[in-house]
């Protein structure tokens, strides 16, 4: 596992020990960022089921100016912090140990909005649609912002969730990536 492109291209990333997290493969990461970027001129991101932090770190390496990382596992938080330090991204990040629902509520209270949100929850506990509904209702995603959902290939996500319209859907073996854009005309 490594940073695929940008200022930290080629830098190896540590994985979370054990088998409770499943890192996004470099191939899927590269394809995903080619769909939404591939590079950014600033912007904010949220890596909500961060695991090792690979998606958010890739976003930072490709030009995002700030990313908030959230995971509920303490082992994951430790690995995220190590990976951020190795990439020298500590100043551009916030890292929280929390579950997704509580983290979203806390972010809403702070009034933060995002250009890019990365959702890669455990495949057995899919909650993508309900999370996106909350994000829509609370306007957590900026106009024209992007939500990237990584999920099992056999999960069919709806074409629209609130203001979020599906703009891309690709399958990579047992993994699928579905991308939504926030077109704010409700």
Q: Which domain holds residue 46?
A: 26-182
Which one-letter DSSP state was computed for residue 111?
Answer: T
Domain membership flag for residue 15: no
Model confidence over 149-181: pLDDT tens digits? Answer: 999 899 899 999 999 999 999 999 999 999 999
Domain membership flag for residue 150: yes
Model confidence over 98-130: pLDDT tens digits? Answer: 999 999 999 999 999 999 999 988 765 568 999
Domain membership flag for residue 99: yes
Domain membership flag for residue 21: no
CA angle 29, 33, 34 (to 5 degrees): 115
What's this model's pTM, rounded to 2 decimal places? 0.94
Confidence (pLDDT) at 125: 57
Paired tokens of 83:
């990976």
1, 26 contact by CB (below 8 A): yes
Residues in the chain, how many?
186
Model confidence over 17-45: pLDDT tens digits? Answer: 887 677 788 889 999 999 999 999 999 99
Q: How many domains does the chain have?
A: 1
């Amino acid at each position: 596992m490594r940073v695929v492109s940008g200022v930290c291209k080629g830098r190896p990333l540590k994985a979370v020990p054990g088998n409770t997290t499943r890192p996004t493969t470099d191939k899927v990461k590269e394809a995903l960022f080619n769909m939404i970027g591939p590079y950014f001129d600033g912007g904010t991101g949220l890596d909500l089921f961060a695991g090792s932090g690979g998606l958010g770190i890739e976003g930072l390496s490709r030009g995002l100016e700030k990313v908030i990382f959230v995971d509920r596992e303490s082992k994951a938080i430790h690995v995220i912090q190590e990976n951020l330090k190795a990439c020298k991204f500590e100043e551009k990040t916030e890292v929280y140990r929390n579950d997704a629902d509580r983290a979203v509520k806390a972010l809403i209270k702070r009034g933060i909005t995002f250009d890019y949100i990365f959702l890669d929850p455990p495949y057995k506990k899919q909650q993508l649609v309900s999370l996106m509904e909350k994000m829509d209702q609370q306007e957590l995603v900026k106009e024209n912002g992007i939500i990237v959902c990584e999920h099992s290939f056999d999960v069919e996500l709806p074409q629209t969730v609130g203001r979020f319209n599906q703009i891309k859907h690709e399958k990579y073996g047992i993994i699928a990536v579905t991308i939504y854009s926030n077109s704010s005309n409700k």
